[in-house]
Amino acid sequence: MWKAVKYQPENLPEIIEMTREYYGDSWISDTGYLKWQYEANPAGPAIIQLARDVETDQLAGQYVVIPMRFKAFDKTVNGILSLNTLTRQIYTGQGVFTGLAKAIYQACAKQGPEFCYGFPNPNSYPGFTRKLGFTDLGCVPLLLRPLNTKALVTRKFGSLLGSLAFPFQLFYKVKDRSNDNYEVYPLTAFNLSDMNAFWAKVQDKYPIMGIRDADYIRWRYFENPYRDYQIYGIHKKNSSELIGYIVGRCTEVEGMSSGMIVDFLVDPSHPAAGKYLINRLLRFFVANNMDLAGSLMLPYTEESCILKANGFFTCPKALEPQPFPVIYRRLSSKREEEGNYGEGNQNPFLQLDHWFLTMGDYDAI
């Protein structure tokens, strides 16, 4: 038997012990990482329910959500992102996952967040959609661009075919496309003063967007103790006004050295800025010996069009390392009661083409 208890900061060592038993030593069981994710979020601390064995006092599982702020349909709304869910193996089949989740959602519905969303892996996806009432909104496409076609083909098919990839190597060669009218420069935690003005200009570019102000950018990309991100901003040479930014990270995916475009957003009045941001980040990836570049981006966005115009293509489903579904569950009926869902009173959050989502909206990438 187990009971649900509210998380307290002094429970963190127990959580880490349970997480290491489940995942081993990794970022998800690192004290610094969890303190950053659970306690330093500018939108507020994590909301956590723990399952505790009533006889042994051992933790049986956890359900975690973190607050996330959104600009949606001209209003600022609060959501929660589901992450780091786990059940100790000896307690599987005892309803820990669903029991803790329902306790979280009931508490959150009273506290104010309007919805919960997540990006489940294939193992947890059925539990969310079949047992917890989440709606599958669809999948975010994975866009790819070869950086070293010889290395990619050699890894997949051997050195003989790898040697035949030379023409593609030339086609996908990353050239310096700097422009005299624009300046791309590194963004740091100490030069984010223009980020709030940039966000104020672009916050209505798409109907539903996670708030990307200076506080969020600083927390998400500069204070994360377990990730190194390369971040560039861009402005016109005759102006200091930020008109776009891009975030990248070097990692390994399926055994391939991969440069991931974690976040990418441009001012719609300066679409040309996007290609210079992409080019600068791709040159960083090449300098760091990445063989492949990737990005998650919804197809109707301007940023997706810019990526595709610069050599990216949609990864075939058969080659994806895993699908990237987006799931959603409404927690509060406040908007429905106020009649804010428009004609037919249908929830517009259920339409994926209303959202702007990148890897930066995920918890772990």
How many C-beta atoms lie closer than 10 Å to residue 322's C-beta? 10
Q: Give pLDDT, residue 295.
A: 97
Query: At 224, which amino acid appears?
Result: N
**Residue 337 confidence (pLDDT):** 43
Same domain, residue pair 148 and 165: yes
Same domain, yes or no: 63 and 187: no
Evaluate whether 260 touches 246 at the Cβ level (below 8 Å).
no
Clarify whether residues 220 and 71 are in a common domain. Answer: no
Dig out the tokens for 39 from the structure: 């306690």
Residues ≥6 apart with Cβ < 8 Å to 95: none
CATH, residue 121: 3.40.630.30
Q: Where are the beta strands (DSSP E) in the chain?
A: 2-6, 47-53, 59-72, 75-87, 115-118, 135-139, 142-146, 182-186, 208-210, 230-236, 244-253, 256-266, 292-296, 313-314, 325-330, 355-356
Query: What count of residues does the chain have?
Result: 365
Kindly report the pTM of this predicted structure.
0.92
Q: What is the pLDDT of residue 24?
A: 87
Mean pLDDT over 75-93 rounds to 94
Structure tokens, 294: 């990737």
Phi and psi, residue 117, nearest 5°: -140, 165
CB 234 within 8 A of CB 276: yes
- pLDDT at residue number 151: 66
Same domain, 174 and 71: no
Q: Are residues 86 and 124 in the same domain?
A: yes
How far apart are alpha carbons 259 and 145 in whole angstroms?
10
The pLDDT value recorded for residue 114 is 93
149 compared with 235, residue with greater pLDDT: 235
- Give the count of beta carbons closer than 10 Å to the beta carbon of residue 176: 7
Residue 249 in any domain: the answer is yes
Place 338 in a pLDDT band, splitting at 50, 70 and 90: very low
pLDDT at 27: 87
Residues 149 and 107 both lie in one domain? no
Asked if the structure places residue 337 within a domain, the reply is no
Domain that holds residue 115: 2-137+327-332
Same domain, 154 and 114: no
Domain-located, residue 118: yes
Q: Which tokens belong to 288? A: 């760091």
In the structure encoding, which two tokens stand for residue 18, read together? 């349970």
In a domain, 353, yes or no: no
Question: What is the chain's mean pLDDT, rounded?
Answer: 90
Is 66 in contact with 37 (CB distance < 8 Å)? yes
Single-letter amino acid code for the residue at 80: I
Residue 349 lies in a domain: no
Q: Is the pLDDT of residue 74 over 60?
A: yes
Residue-level pLDDT at 359 = 95
Contact 245, 233 (CB under 8 A): yes
Q: Who has greater pLDDT, 253 or 15?
A: 15
Count CA atoms within 13 Å of residue 48 on its CB side: 25
Is the model's pLDDT at 165 over the cut of 60?
no
Report the alpha-carbon distance of residue 8 to residue 50 in Å, rounded: 10
Query: Do residue 227 and residue 275 come from a single domain?
Result: yes
Residues 312 and 183 in one domain: yes
Q: Based on the domain organization, do 71 and 115 belong to the same domain?
A: yes
User: What is the number of domains present in the chain?
Assistant: 2
The answer as to whether 98 is a domain residue is yes
Q: Are residues 36 and 71 in the same domain?
A: yes
pLDDT (tens digit per residue) in 208-259: 999 999 999 999 999 999 999 999 999 999 899 999 999 999 999 888 899 9
Tokens for 334?
Answer: 């406040």
- Decide if 352 is inside a domain: no
- Same domain? For 277 and 229 the reply is yes
Domain contains 162: yes
